[in-house]
Amino acid sequence: MGVQTSSIESAIVELERWFSDAGRVVVALSGGVDSAVLAVLGHRVLGEDSLAMTAVSPSLARDELEGVRRLVNQCSLNYREIQTDEIDDPRYIQNGPNRCYVCKSHLFAELEPVARSLNATMVVGTNLDDLGDYRPGLRAAQEFGVGSPYLDCGVNKQMVRSIARAIGLETLAEKPASACLASRIPYGVPVTIQRLSAVERLEQFLHRLGLSSVRVRHHGEIARIEVPVEVGPSIWQHREQIVAEAERLGFLYSTLDLAGFRSGSMNRVLERTTGDEEDRQALV
């Protein structure tokens, strides 16, 4: 069942009020539907006092960056790109369970002086559903005093997608969940540009085959491919092409995960090694 229109209209009003009260904002625009909706709403309420900023680094897929640029042009957003250097940080490279915290800390450290110069509030697209997953980046946002309009207004992921449709972002409303390329590499395996590139290029290849919801998990010589269970059988018609492309990119073996597409599947190892939330927090 979808979200009722009246509740979506109320959520939009609440979010617009949030931006109006903030006065000036710097929105971290990653390319996903969550941050895109905030960037558009912020611009609609505040105009040039809403600045959308995207961090460009090897962990951001080029397709995601191009999608951001299309949105910026489509909606005439006030926009700026910055380079972040998390890939040079040993804590990020070693890829521990706190990798996302390290990455977000780099992001906010770059956004903070911009926001300060504008007397603006940094804003991220964290929604209510994100609180139910392991997301150490949330701690970085708290430490930097970043605003979370969705959390303050009680908006979950389904509502975000409904809001996207209501404000004319139909294509984004259907966009599969996205995450940085480093999330495809198992914890403890160093993040390298080579591994990020192999994942990105194989996912691009799969997208061109018509697989919009897909993850390529990098397990050394093995590419573990996740697609929705219902489209799994159709991937076999492209089997030889996929195997050949994976081998060209350095994978000796290509596997299809029978459990299907799952955001955050790499976090399962944390469930196995930590007994409760206190243990999990100790990791970050």
pLDDT in tens, 65-77: 999 999 999 999 9
Mean predicted confidence (pLDDT) in 29-48: 96
Mean predicted confidence (pLDDT) in 197-216: 95
- Does 134 lie in the same domain as 115? yes
- Does 195 lie in the same domain as 143? no
- Does 189 lie in the same domain as 164? no
User: How far is 171 from 179, CA to CA, in rounded Å?
Assistant: 18
More confident of the two residues 179 and 28:
28
More confident of the two residues 53 and 174:
53
The answer to whether residue 78 sits within a structural domain is yes
Range of the domain at 185: 181-262
- Does 71 lie in the same domain as 14? yes
Mean predicted confidence (pLDDT) in 254-275: 72
User: How far is 200 from 187, CA to CA, in rounded Å?
Assistant: 18
CATH number for the domain harbouring residue 105: 3.40.50.620
The answer to whether residue 37 sits within a structural domain is yes
Q: What is the pLDDT of residue 269?
A: 62
pLDDT in tens, 235-263: 999 999 999 999 999 999 999 999 998 77
- Whether 277 has a pLDDT exceeding 50, the answer reads no
Domain boundary among 173, 199, 222: 173
- Does 120 lie in the same domain as 22? yes
For 153-222, the DSSP string reads HT--HHHHHHHHHHTT-HHHHTPPP---GGGGS-TTSPP-HHHHHHHHHHHHHHHHTT--S-EEEEETTE
- Whether 98 has a pLDDT exceeding 80, the answer reads yes
- Does 144 lie in the same domain as 234? no
